[in-house]
Amino acid sequence: MKEKVKYIIVGQGLVGTWMSYHLEQAGLSYKVINDPNIKSATSVASGVINPVTGRRIVQTWMIETILPYAITAYQKIAQQLNIEIIKASPVISIHPSQQMSESFDYRLHHDNVYLYKQDPSKWDVFFESPFGIGAINNCYWIDLNTMISNWKNILIQKQNYLAAHFEMSDVTFLEDGILWNNIHAERIIFCDGINSMNNPYFKALPFAPNKGEALIIKVPGLNNEHIYKNSVTVVPWKDDLFWVGSSYEWEFNHTAPTPAFKEKMIQGLNQFLKLPYEIVDHIVGIRPANTQRRPFIGVHPIHKQLAICNGMGTKGCSLAPYFTNELFHLLEHDTPVEPEASLKRFDSILSN
Ligand SMILES: Cc1cc2nc3c(=O)[nH]c(=O)nc-3n(C[C@H](O)[C@H](O)[C@H](O)COP(=O)(O)OP(=O)(O)OC[C@H]3O[C@@H](n4cnc5c(N)ncnc54)[C@H](O)[C@@H]3O)c2cc1C
């Protein structure tokens, strides 16, 4: 017998989780199809939201709108799941060079919203800090793996989750939607990360996958209320484990961990961390990035049964709650998506 739902969501990484959350809140019917054998970017991400970026420490795109939305959204889902997901975690910036220290000081006195100074003596036991220490406020840490696994349990309880591999070639297009594996849906929403690059209907989008590696280390005695940044970033993971990363590789010929990355992180850590540490894991993920550094949110210009929410790149934690909601409002209320993120900007290339 055929099952009928309004939406099929492909993927339950960060984006598929938020997409299904909005549909669930609205009481709509949906099924999430997720292949657990495909490693998601979300599962290796450090989960940091930082309102500033780059060597010049400038505010990130749309942060004044996106950050308050994201904070409330993570708090709401945490409340619903009855777990802690979001934690305010200032970034302690242990400047790795005189140049970085000067850059920080410059921003501190020009258009500064988030930066403040730290007394280095407070951190003497933990870090070498010959170039001084600054701090960044309004940064948050999201416990992504806890959130994804708890939300998956809700989806399973509600019979809205299917562990399966989705192939576009198994889809039959109908007048009023699509048919996949005996599931009839009005629309499919692709939240499948880098897999969308292989989708015949979306592969023309300017995807630019980006490989990122990280080490998981054990550092007994290091305070896990903060994120630490030197030439490497150290982020609380769980208990006395910390995530250390990362690399940003646009060109790569395999997706395995590399000894060169591990060596670079060890050198970086030894330069500033005074506490002993032990490496317990080395992980890798591929960020669904793109050449425009803006998300892809919308409906296919010809095949209206197909929608996509993708291209979160390095900033999924802050972008995903907001832009899945934008897609939800487009699909349900025909509300236009923020033009810089809208799929409409690719209408001509997707129509060929
Ligand atoms: C090392 C690293 C560190 C990062 N750190 C941060 C950070 O600190 N802050 C931040 O904001 N972002 C960070 N990111 C980026 C962040 O991980 C991504 O922006 C975000 O996770 C993308 O989520 P997604 O749901 O689009 O993709 P994914 O997390 O990759 O999820 C895609 C899902 O689709 C499923 N899927 C794929 N194909 C199929 C198929 N054919 N059938 C069924 N299911 C399928 C997969 O199983 C997966 O569950 C980091 C990324 C990496 C790699």
> What's the confidence (pLDDT) of residue 7?
98
Atom of ligand 1 nearest to the CA of 283: 1
CA distance 222 to 228: 10
> What's the confidence (pLDDT) of residue 136?
96
What is the best residue among 20, 31, 35, 91 to mutate for testing ligand 1's pocket, by most ligand atoms within 8 Å of CB? 35
Q: Within 6 Å (CB) of ligand 1, which residues are found?
A: 10-16, 33-35, 38, 40-42, 44-48, 165-166, 191-193, 195, 212, 214, 245-246, 285, 287-288, 310, 312-318
Q: What is the mean pLDDT of the chain?
A: 96
Region of 200 please: left (phi>0), alpha (psi -120 to 50) or beta: alpha
- Based on the fold, state whether residues 296 and 325 are members of the same structural domain: yes
70 assigned to some structural domain? no
Pairing mode, strands 115-117 and 133-136: antiparallel
170 assigned to some structural domain? yes
What is the best residue among 15, 63, 91, 242 to mutate for testing ligand 1's pocket, by most ligand atoms within 8 Å of CB? 15
pLDDT digits 0-9 by tens, 57-77: 899 999 999 999 999 999 999
> What's the confidence (pLDDT) of residue 23?
98
CA distance 303 to 307: 9
Handedness of CA 126, 268, 89, 95 (dihedral sign): positive
Task: Compute and round to an integer the Cα radius of gyration of the chain.
Answer: 21
CA of 287 to the centre of ligand 1 (A): 6
- Based on the fold, state whether residues 216 and 277 are members of the same structural domain: yes
CA distance 142 to 109: 29
> What's the confidence (pLDDT) of residue 240?
87
Q: In degrees, to the nearest 5, what angle opens at C-alpha 123 toward C-alphas 238 and 59?
A: 70
* pLDDT (mean) for 117-142: 95
DSSP one-letter code for 170: G
What CATH number should be reported for the domain holding residue 108? 3.30.9.10
Write the burial class of residue 289 (CB in 10 Å: 0-12 exposed, 13-18 middle, 19+ buried): buried
Please indicate, yes or no, whether the overall pTM of this predicted structure exceeds 0.95.
Answer: yes
77 assigned to some structural domain? no
Residue closest by Cα to atom 37 of ligand 1: 192
CA of 207 to the centre of ligand 1 (A): 14
- Based on the fold, state whether residues 262 and 242 are members of the same structural domain: yes
- Based on the fold, state whether residues 225 and 260 are members of the same structural domain: yes
CA of 127 to the centre of ligand 1 (A): 32
* Residue 81: Cβ within 10 Å count: 16
| Count of residues making up the chain | 352
What CATH number should be reported for the domain holding residue 345? 3.50.50.60
Selection from 247, 233, 181, 194 nearest residue 31 by Cα: 181
67 assigned to some structural domain? no
Structural domain span for residue 199: 3-44+145-207+291-351
Q: In degrees, to the nearest 5, what angle opens at C-alpha 236 toward C-alphas 233 and 238?
A: 145
Selection from 340, 220, 211 nearest residue 285 by Cα: 211
> What's the confidence (pLDDT) of residue 248?
96
CA distances from residue 339 to 57, 155, 307, 346 in whole angstroms, order as listed: 25, 32, 16, 11
pLDDT digits 0-9 by tens, 270-326: 999 999 999 999 999 999 999 999 999 999 999 999 999 999 999 999 999 999 999
Residue pair 285/43 in contact by the 8 Å Cβ criterion: yes
- Based on the fold, state whether residues 310 and 201 are members of the same structural domain: yes
273 assigned to some structural domain? yes
* pLDDT (mean) for 153-180: 97
What is the best residue among 31, 32, 38, 136 to mutate for testing ligand 1's pocket, by most ligand atoms within 8 Å of CB? 38
341: tokens are 């993120």
Atom of ligand 1 nearest to the CA of 289: 19
pLDDT digits 0-9 by tens, 195-250: 999 999 999 999 999 999 999 999 999 999 999 999 999 999 988 899 999 999 99
Q: Please give the full DSSP string across 276-317, using - where no structure is assigned.
A: --EEEEEEEEEE--BTT-S-EEEE-SS-TTEEEEE--GGGHH
Structural domain count of the chain: 2
126 assigned to some structural domain? yes
50 assigned to some structural domain? no
217 assigned to some structural domain? yes
Atom of ligand 1 nearest to the CA of 214: 1
CA of 330 to the centre of ligand 1 (A): 23
Residue pair 163/36 in contact by the 8 Å Cβ criterion: yes
What is the best residue among 10, 91, 196, 314 to mutate for testing ligand 1's pocket, by most ligand atoms within 8 Å of CB? 314
> What's the confidence (pLDDT) of residue 55?
83
Using DSSP's 3-state secondary structure scheme, residue 245 falls into strand
Which of 272, 287, 302 is at the close of a domain?
Answer: 287
Residue closest by Cα to atom 16 of ligand 1: 316
Which of 287, 322, 342 is at the close of a domain?
Answer: 287
CA of 48 to the centre of ligand 1 (A): 14
